[in-house]
Amino acid sequence: MIAKVSAVLFSCIAVYLVFFHMALVLGMPWGALTMGGFVEGSLPLPMRALSLLQAFIAVFMACSVLKRGEVVAFKWPTWSYWLVIAICTLSVVGNAATSSEAERQLGLPVTIALLVTALLAGSSKVLRRPA
């Protein structure tokens, strides 16, 4: 039960990230809150493309965690869950180390929540007792 709830919570946070990155792609002036906080205002076009890629990655991660938490039954590669854990871990490190105070204040709690919920979503596979 914890795994399923965690997987759904992870996916809700991922949806927030998709909306955030799509808003950046469309020109919202939140450049200081992403990618190191080097851009004040709207992102330039190459960085908007990276933001679009990040939105797709968030969808991929949500699918992986939903599958791992046994919320959905579609075919999805098992290894992708471990890739999500790696991405979330690197995101926590990156958000903790960023020189942008605004990005750290917004991004660090979000990435920690993603990592914790991803780990809990995978706990059903680790903690399951053999019958």
Annotated domain spans of the chain: 2-124
Taking CA atoms, 20 is separated from 13, 15, 29, 57, 127, in Å, by: 11, 9, 11, 13, 34
**What is the spatial distance between Cα 41 and Cα 26, in angstroms, rounded to a whole number?**
12
Here the tokens at position 104 are: 């750290």
3-state secondary structure the chain: CHHHHHHHHHHHHHHHHHHHHHHHHCCCCCHHHCHHHCCCCCCCHHHHHHHHHHHHHHHHHHHHHHHHCCCCCCCCCCHHHHHHHHHHHHHHHHHHHCCCHHHHHHHHHHHHHHHHHHHHHCHHHHHCCCC
Regions of the chain where pLDDT drops below 70? 125-131
**What is the spatial distance between Cα 31 and Cα 66, in angstroms, rounded to a whole number?**
30
pLDDT at 1: 87
pLDDT at 123: 86
pLDDT at 127: 55
Whole-model pTM?
Answer: 0.91
Torsion of CA 19, 67, 114, 97, to 10 degrees: -100
Encode pLDDT of 65-76 as tens digits: 999 999 999 999
